[in-house]
Amino acid sequence: MRVDCFKCKYFRVTWDQNNPRGCSAYGFKTKQLPSILVKQSSGMDCLKFSPKPQQEGKR
């Protein structure tokens, strides 16, 4: 399963130009997508992925 960080409620964009992407579940910032760093570090897919709540009117 490939985790899509952009659809995760823990994904955030930071003000740090060197590390513009972050994960509030794991508490880190990175240049790449957090799910890629988790996979490289642990060898496992991200276990903290949680889909963002659906906004009304959006599909």
**In this prediction, what percent of the chain has a pLDDT beyond 70?**
93
pLDDT of residue 58: 62
13-29 pLDDT, tens digit per residue, is 999 999 999 999 999 99
Burial code (b: 16+ CB inside 10 Å, e: under 16) for 39-48 equals: eeeeeeebee
Residue 55 pLDDT exceeds 80 = no
